[in-house]
Amino acid sequence: MDSFVSALHTDKYQITMMYAHYKNGTHQNRRAFDLYFRKLPFGNGYVVFAGLERVVRYLENLRFREEDLLYLQQENAFEPEFLDLLRSFRFTGTLYAMPEGTLAFPGEPLIRIEGNILELQLIETALLNFVGYQSLIATKAARVRHVAGNDTLLEFGTRRAQEMDAAIWGTRAAYLAGFDATSNTLAGQRFGIPSRGTHAHAWVQDFASELEAFRAYAAAFPDATTLLVDTYDTLKSGLPHAIKVGLELKRQGHTLAGIRLDSGDLAYLSKQARMMLDKAGLTDTKITASSDLDEFTILNLKAQGAKIDAWGVGTKLITAFDQPALGAVYKMVARFEDEEWVPTIKISSNPAKITTPGRKSVYRIIDRKSGKARGDLITAVEEKIDEGKPLQLFDPEHPYRRKKVKNFQAIPLLQPIFQEGRIVYALPSLREIREYHQKQLALFWEEYLRILNPEVYPVSLSHQLWDTKQRLLARIYDYIKAEE
């Protein structure tokens, strides 16, 4: 698979910071960063983490080629020794991540990464780029799946996507979060996603009559034809012609696979279409709908009793139409000094933007009786959870809101992916990721999963982390006061 990503796929300030670190003699300093998001998109109750495979391939292949170095040399007055350093650049860091398909929540590290600052600065932009987009599309797709129940979901967005990479990786994200197939054949080839499709209006327009067009298509694919019935008049022309061809196929021992509705009142038309098809004995012919669909229109159409078996969803999925960015961030959380990790904090006037210091683990606390998640707990890496003792969870924004959990299992969410540059993780297949995602969903009560006004899932900080955060905050405020 072509997964090369240029080392120059970054922001210029990463390169200039790398140079300044080199000049300062600090480029080998060991640091830790967290990648996380602060706010849930689409008013959803969770995010579906995606993008890890792309991150892994990128880090494995990360090199500066001679033309990259030449470009940097032409653009900047960098010392040749710095360019030599880049020439031998390899990713040598340690990376932990949630598996793709994991349900994630604000403030939780999706990725924790440790390594020298030179490498960690370079990769920030690409990691945010991959994870932000793919997680956003996976989350949107999960919302569509939630309302579609067991109906077939087809990803149709490539023509409206923000260019090729977005189409390909967005399709993969949609598939891992529950779509059944895609119209994009390149994504089909690269990722083994089933590819599916119908035909366009142009096919019908190309013939002297709609009937002739339908017959010709059915002749080419007698067992896999879905006829688009709205080119001229859905009920007066498209359906009668489709039924005629369907009956001809039936006489030849084949089945008309489906019809597709692409305009008009999809509820009314699908009910009429179902009646007409059934009356003709074409009960196995499925109805596909497309036309600016998203989770809200699908939910509404189902509430209207629409007889639609498969939904083609394009623009609004692949462009994350109602929220085009996840707003993920990548923040330094610890410095390695005098043989130990020292937590670091970033202050903001907006309390939500104050970082949580230190290297962290994330646990999903599962109630052993119900098998459902009670909440997540973020701890310092060195903390151990004793499942034999009651665990106190509290809301870090409202610490007085607390609950005690007993008889639980604590599942660590961050898995080792790279150890000092060496990959230690067997990337799961896309099918395994899909299955894992479904199992993740099954851990949550429906209140957290509904698409409108879901309950806020509790994410707690350990006492140790909370104390560290308060201590660092106090220290910084004292320092600022002393400077005044």
Ligand X SMILES: O=C(O)c1cccnc1
Ligand Y SMILES: Nc1ncnc2c1ncn2[C@@H]1O[C@H](COP(=O)(O)OP(=O)(O)OP(=O)(O)O)[C@@H](O)[C@H]1O
What lies within 8 Å, CB to CB, of 198 at 6+ separation is: 226, 227, 228, 258, 260, 288, 312
Closest CA to 376 of 352, 339, 408: 408
Residue 92 contacts residue 119 (beta carbons within 8 Å)? yes
Q: Is 311 near ligand X (CB under 6 A)?
A: no
Q: What is the DSSP letter of 484?
A: -
Nearer of residues 108 and 294 to ligand PRP, judged by Cβ: 294
CB of 270 to ligand Y, least distance (A): 9
Residue 39 contacts residue 106 (beta carbons within 8 Å)? yes
Calpha distance 164→137 (Å, rounded):
15
Please choose which of ligand Y, ligand PRP, ligand X, none residue 198 contacts, taking the beta carbon within 5 to 8 angstroms, the exact cut-off set by kind: ligand X
Calpha distance 269→265 (Å, rounded):
6
Using CB atoms, what's the residue nearest to ligand PRP? 314
Please choose which of ligand Y, ligand PRP, ligand X, none residue 139 contacts, taking the beta carbon within 5 to 8 angstroms, the exact cut-off set by kind: none
Type of residue at 255: T
**What is the binding site for ligand PRP (CB under 6 A)?**
156, 159-160, 200, 262, 290-293, 312-316
Please choose which of ligand PRP, ligand X, ligand Y, none residue 313 contacts, taking the beta carbon within 5 to 8 angstroms, the exact cut-off set by kind: ligand PRP
Residue 104 contacts residue 432 (beta carbons within 8 Å)? no
| Binding-site member from 94, 102, 134, 198 for ligand X (CB under 6 A) | 198
Kind and range of the H or E element at 96? strand 94-97
Which residues are 341's β-sheet partners?
Answer: 336
Calpha distance 233→6 (Å, rounded):
50
Q: Is 300 near ligand Y (CB under 6 A)?
A: yes
What lies within 8 Å, CB to CB, of 386 at 6+ separation is: none
| Window 234-293: residues binding ligand Y (CB under 6 A) | 263-267, 291-293
Please choose which of ligand PRP, ligand Y, ligand X, none residue 419 contacts, taking the beta carbon within 5 to 8 angstroms, the exact cut-off set by kind: none
> What does the per-residue mask of binding to ligand Y show for 72-111, with x meaning CB under 6 A?
----------------------------------------
Closest CA to 234 of 242, 246, 244: 242
Nearer of residues 207 and 466 to ligand PRP, judged by Cβ: 207
Q: Is 41 near ligand X (CB under 6 A)?
A: no
> What does the per-residue mask of binding to ligand X show for 245-284, with x meaning CB under 6 A?
---------------x------------------------
CB of 211 to ligand PRP, least distance (A): 21
Q: Is 205 near ligand Y (CB under 6 A)?
A: no
Please choose which of ligand X, ligand PRP, ligand Y, none residue 188 contacts, taking the beta carbon within 5 to 8 angstroms, the exact cut-off set by kind: none
Residue 63 contacts residue 88 (beta carbons within 8 Å)? no
Q: Is 231 near ligand X (CB under 6 A)?
A: no
Q: Is 189 near ligand Y (CB under 6 A)?
A: no
C-alpha 416: how far from its chain's center? 20
The interaxial angle of helices 117-148 and 12-24, nearest 10 deg, is: 150
Q: Is 312 near ligand X (CB under 6 A)?
A: yes
| Window 301-360: residues binding ligand Y (CB under 6 A) | 301, 304
Nearer of residues 55 and 293 to ligand X, judged by Cβ: 293
Residue 261 contacts residue 288 (beta carbons within 8 Å)? yes
Burial of residue 321, with CB atoms counted within 10 A of its CB: 0-12 exposed, 13-18 middle, 19 or more buried: middle
Please choose which of ligand PRP, ligand X, ligand Y, none residue 152 contacts, taking the beta carbon within 5 to 8 angstroms, the exact cut-off set by kind: none
Calpha distance 298→307 (Å, rounded):
11
User: What are the structure tokens assigned to 103, written together?
Assistant: 């349900």
Q: How many residues bind ligand X (CB under 6 A)?
A: 8
CB of 301 to ligand Y, least distance (A): 6
Nearer of residues 115 and 314 to ligand X, judged by Cβ: 314
Residue numbers of the site for ligand X (CB under 6 A)? Answer: 156, 183, 197-198, 260, 290, 312, 314
Q: Which residues bind ligand Y (CB under 6 A)?
A: 263-267, 291-293, 297, 300-301, 304
